[in-house]
Amino acid sequence: MEIGLEGLAEAQLKALGPQLELLQHVEGRSLIRVDEASAQQVLRNALGAGAKVTRFAQTQFGLEELFLKAMQDAGTTVGSEVSLE
When divided into structural domains, the chain yields a total of 1
Residue 65 domain-assigned?
Answer: yes
Residue 68's domain spans which residues? 2-74
Residue 85 domain-assigned?
Answer: no
Q: Tell which wins on pLDDT, 41 or 70.
A: 41
Write down the H helix ranges in the chain: 10-14, 36-48, 63-74
pLDDT of residue 71: 79
Q: Region 61-74: what's the mean pLDDT? A: 78
pLDDT of residue 42: 93
Tens of pLDDT along 10-67?
889 888 987 788 888 888 899 999 988 899 999 999 999 999 999 998 877 778 777 8
Which residues neighbour 6 within 8 Å (Cβ) at sequence distance 6 or greater? 28, 29, 30, 51, 52, 54
> For 28, left (φ over 0), alpha (ψ -120 to 50), or beta?
left
Residue 63 domain-assigned?
Answer: yes
pLDDT of residue 78: 61
pLDDT of residue 18: 77
Residue 82 domain-assigned?
Answer: no
54 touches 5 (CB < 8 A): yes
Report the C-alpha gap between 85 and 82 in whole angstroms. Answer: 9
